[in-house]
């Protein structure tokens, strides 16, 4: 299956500029819609959080629009609302992130508010306490969610004493410890233009986008901007780990099992991704879904996921089951994984997955938001501006033998972390 290369983002229509202060801008015009989307990140994630105040980066980024030195929370809300625009912030392990959309004529408003929030937040006490209450409510809900609890325990096991093993939104006790001064210090020490990436896609010429980004952020500097700490080494499991989290009052059990996977930039990633699609995604959730859910009727849902991040990743299998079916579901999943690493996938399975991957790429790029997310991935994982034009060839080059080799390299059922959360066993 071929793609029309001219319709895909590439070096000919992506403008990439590095500003003198360290900001990287990627822009692509699309005049088929009168809107514009911005997306991006800067190094200000939970890597910087002190363990006793885990969730500080998350709390800080969510505070940025609660008031600035120029505008109150209400004035910021009204400025966005009156233009039909949106702007939001978040945080992950590595980065503070942002995203928004507006009519193309309101790009100056969007970028102006972005710059103002990043550079001049005022952290008004009343708004901060209101936000703290919302965060604590969310954490209380998380504590009763079987899927969330299984995921947290799984990451703690897979990434012991590692930033990937800690929840970026923190814990109840750590959020309670964070003060307004902590938020202000985090913003002043960790936020700056070095390493910042901005993507703008929509009905605006790249030259004008560059002018507006320069106007909003071109003079930003922070000589004291903290350098992200180095990630500690990974310690793969050498034996299997089984853990159950008992949550009273629940009637369903969420199961999560798996191991380390390839990082997003790894040469193994494409073969692993296609293999994962066959194992637990394509059609009715691949082989896992077919056996565990469709044939045996043991699960409400059953699928796999491959999560590739900057320095590592996970290969996970998840299912929602009746507590009475938990052990049988684990047994069947392990059987399917052992079959997956003992024999190549069929030519038909691979061809179907390759066609699926190639066919859905243009669909993911139909909107400005889809293109912005795609360009952000190019920069974050250093894939190259021509990646999407090479994509079909990369997909079609994968063989059953390569999938088997990668599966054997990562999937060892004897060293899986197996976590369940639900009523007591």
Residuewise pLDDT in 10s, the chain (425 residues)? 556 656 899 999 999 999 999 999 999 999 999 999 999 999 999 999 999 999 999 999 999 999 999 999 999 999 999 999 999 999 999 999 999 999 999 999 999 999 999 999 999 999 999 999 999 999 999 999 999 999 999 999 999 999 999 999 999 999 999 999 999 999 999 999 999 999 999 999 999 999 999 999 999 999 999 999 999 999 899 999 999 999 999 999 999 999 999 999 999 999 999 999 999 999 889 999 999 998 999 999 999 999 999 999 999 999 999 999 999 999 999 999 999 999 999 999 999 999 999 999 999 999 999 999 999 999 999 999 999 999 999 999 999 999 999 999 999 999 999 999 999 87
Q: CA nearest 40: which of 142, 188, 144, 191?
A: 191
Q: What is the pLDDT of residue 5?
A: 57
**pTM for the structure as a whole:** 0.94
Domain CATH for 296: 3.30.830.10
**Domain check: are 197 and 252 in the same one?**
no
State which of 185, 217, 249 marks the end of a domain. Answer: 217
**Domain check: are 52 and 164 in the same one?**
yes
Residue 304: phi, psi to the nearest 5? -125, 160
**Domain check: are 189 and 298 in the same one?**
no
Q: What is the pLDDT of residue 293?
A: 92
229 occurs within a structural domain: no
**Domain check: are 278 and 176 in the same one?**
no
**Domain check: are 142 and 180 in the same one?**
yes
**Domain check: are 10 and 62 in the same one?**
yes
**Domain check: are 279 and 369 in the same one?**
yes
**Domain check: are 260 and 309 in the same one?**
yes
231 occurs within a structural domain: no
362 occurs within a structural domain: yes
223 occurs within a structural domain: no
Q: What is the pLDDT of residue 283?
A: 86
412 occurs within a structural domain: yes
406 occurs within a structural domain: yes
**Domain check: are 184 and 286 in the same one?**
no
Exposed / middle / buried, residue 243 (Cβ in 10 Å: 0-12, 13-18, 19+): middle
The total number of structural domains in the chain stands at: 2
226 occurs within a structural domain: no
**Domain check: are 18 and 130 in the same one?**
yes
Residue 79: phi, psi to the nearest 5? -65, -40
Residues pairing with 315 in the sheet: 259, 306
144 occurs within a structural domain: yes
**Which residues form the domain of 269?**
241-422
> What angle, 0 to 180 degrees and rounded to 10, lies between the N-to-C axes of helices 107-119 and 206-217?
30
């Amino acid at each position: 299956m071929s793609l029309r290369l001219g319709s895909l983002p590439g070096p000919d229509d992506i403008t990439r500029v590095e500003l003198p202060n360290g900001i990287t801008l990627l822009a692509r015009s699309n005049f088929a819609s009168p809107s514009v989307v911005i997306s991006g990140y800067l190094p200000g994630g939970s890597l910087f959080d002190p363990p006793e105040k885990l969730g500080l980066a998350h709390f800080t980024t969510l505070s940025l629009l609660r008031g600035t030195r120029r505008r109150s929370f209400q004035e910021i809300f009204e400025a966005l609302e009156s233009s039909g625009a949106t702007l939001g912030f978040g945080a992950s392990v590595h980065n503070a992130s942002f995203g928004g959309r507006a009519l193309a004529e309101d790009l100056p408003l969007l970028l102006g508010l972005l710059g103002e929030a990043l550079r001049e937040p005022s952290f008004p006490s009343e708004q901060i306490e209101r936000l703290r209450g919302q965060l604590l409510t969310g954490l209380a809900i998380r504590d009763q969610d079987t899927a969330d609890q299984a995921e947290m325990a799984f990451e703690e096991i897979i990434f012991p004493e590692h930033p990937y093993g800690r929840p970026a939104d923190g814990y109840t006790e750590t959020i309670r410890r964070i003060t307004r001064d902590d938020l202000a210090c985090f913003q002043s020490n960790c936020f700056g233009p070095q390493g910042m990436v901005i993507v703008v896609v929509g009905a605006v010429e790249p030259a004008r986008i560059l002018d507006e980004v320069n106007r909003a952020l071109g003079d930003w500097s922070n000589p004291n901007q903290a350098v992200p700490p180095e990630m500690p080494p990974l310690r793969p499991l050498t034996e299997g780990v089984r853990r159950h989290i008992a949550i009273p009052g629940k009637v369903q059990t969420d199961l999560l099992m798996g191991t380390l996977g390839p990082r997003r930039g790894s040469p193994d990633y494409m073969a692993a991704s296609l293999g994962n699609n066959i194992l637990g995604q394509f059609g009715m959730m691949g082989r896992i879904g077919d056996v565990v859910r469709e044939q045996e009727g043991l699960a409400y849902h059953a699928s796999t996921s491959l999560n590739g991040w900057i320095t590592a990743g996970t290969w996970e299998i998840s299912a929602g089951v009746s507590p009475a079916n938990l052990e049988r579901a684990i047994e069947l999943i392990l059987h399917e994984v052992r079959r997956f690493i003992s024999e190549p996938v069929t030519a038909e399975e691979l061809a179907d997955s390759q066609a699926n991957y190639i066919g859905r790429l243009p669909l993911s790029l139909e909107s400005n938001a889809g293109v912005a997310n795609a360009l952000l991935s190019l920069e974050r994982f250093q894939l190259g501006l021509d990646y999407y034009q090479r994509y079909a060839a990369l997909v079609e080059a994968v063989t059953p033998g390569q999938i088997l080799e990668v599966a054997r390299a990562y999937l060892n059922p004897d060293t899986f972390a197996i976590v369940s959360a639900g009523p007591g066993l």
